Amino acid sequence: MKVALITDTHFGARSDNLALLDYQKKFYDTVFFPYLDEHYIHTVFHLGDLVDRRKYINVNTANRMRKDFIEPLNGRDLHIIPGNHDVYYKNSNEINSLKELLGDKENIKIYMQPTVITVDKAQILMLPWICDENRKQCFNAISKAKAPILFGHLELVGFEMHKGHFCDVGLHKESFEKFDVVCSGHFHHKSTYQNINYLGSPYEMTWADYGDVKGFYTFDTETYELEFIENPLRLFQKVHYSDSKKGYEKLLDVDYSYISNTYVKVIVKDKTNPFFYDRFIQKLEDQGPVDIKAVDDHLNIALDDDSDIINQAESTLEILSKTIDQSGIEIKYKKPLENLLRTLYNEASILQA
């Protein structure tokens, strides 16, 4: 029997961005649910962070989540655990968005405590977000549970959170060696090391996701085989502009319809004719993108691999990290300071949202 695994859906991300909500809906309408229907999959596991903000949810976002994700699950079973974004307090999972928004649904089972369940003879330890209140109980379950499979929302040292950014706090992977298969939410970059699988977010949400493969998984309860189902939809696109290498007519002959309803960065290598450039930008705007920003690359920096200029305005976290790294602070203090600033930044983002 095959079940579907999805995680870190983050409804309400980016301050309830409407373009993101539409993009999420397109994923569910054209990729996720059609795949479940085609392959007769009736059981879905969600491994945490259903919503984006811990403190509250926007009414429109709640409406869209219900229509686009929860209601299409009718006729299917959903097993879900709280992630750190789903819970109100940092030291307790007791008050959370899952119980408030999904608690009355008969087809939805919420696991607030470590619980071993059986699905088609496969025993699975459902492990919610580990916090101060349940830490002892979770560690006890990890140690004593005889289930060979664990589904959780884990923070493990050494795994990639986003492309190029690795986690250096949390639990160690050795604590989970006894399990045949471990699947986890929390980190948005999908990765696998030995028996541990971070599923990653199913779709792009920020420019940090650009070029990162997204999607969801199926899990075979008999063979324990994981299969990745890629999401072909993109929210972020880049377009190169050079009117010295390519003639103006060639630039306009390209079909740019793929940038409709996406965020676009135009990588400008050279611009010898401002009139042609304005016409080119107008053609892009005619495709109906959400937003267009131009990034100059007159120095020809990494044209074959321009990940460094995808977002010319670096993220706040990247700026903080580079500033600390280039400062005169003793090495032993750099990482604790970076962790502190990351925590403060995340708290500020939640409050701002």
pLDDT at 327: 67
pLDDT at 348: 63
pLDDT at 352: 44
The answer to whether residue 23 scores a pLDDT higher than 90 is yes
Lowest mean pLDDT among 2-16, 304-318, 335-349: 304-318
CB 271 within 8 A of CB 245: no
pLDDT at 347: 61
Instruction: Report the alpha-carbon distance of residue 37 to residue 53 in Å, rounded.
Output: 30
Q: Which residues make Cβ contacts (< 8 Å) with residue 51, sequence separation at least 6? A: 9, 10, 11, 12, 57, 61, 65, 85, 86, 97, 101
Mean pLDDT of the chain: 89
pLDDT per residue as tens digits for the range 302-312? 444 444 444 44
pLDDT at 308: 43
The answer to whether residue 334 scores a pLDDT higher than 90 is no
Collapse the DSSP code of 201 into the 3-class scheme (helix H, G, I; strand E, B; otherwise coil) and give the result.
coil
Of the candidates 120, 127, 122, the residue with the CA atom closest to the CA atom of residue 144: 127
The answer to whether residue 350 scores a pLDDT higher than 80 is no
The answer to whether residue 335 scores a pLDDT higher than 80 is no
The answer to whether residue 338 scores a pLDDT higher than 90 is no
pLDDT at 342: 75
pLDDT per residue as tens digits for the range 62-106? 999 999 999 999 999 999 999 999 999 999 999 999 999 998 899
The answer to whether residue 168 scores a pLDDT higher than 70 is yes
Q: Band the pLDDT of 118: cuts 50, 70, 90.
A: very high
CA 242: distance to chain centroid?
33
Q: Band the pLDDT of 294: cuts 50, 70, 90.
A: very high
Of the candidates 172, 206, 171, the residue with the CA atom closest to the CA atom of residue 189: 206
- Tell me the two tokens of residue 53: 């903000």
Percent of the chain scoring above 70 in pLDDT: 88
pLDDT per residue as tens digits for the range 192-219? 999 999 999 999 999 999 999 999 999 9
Q: Band the pLDDT of 166: cuts 50, 70, 90.
A: very high
- Average pLDDT rounded to a whole number, residues 227-254: 87
- Tell me the two tokens of residue 135: 């830490």
Residue 233 has phi, psi (to 5 degrees) of: -80, 140
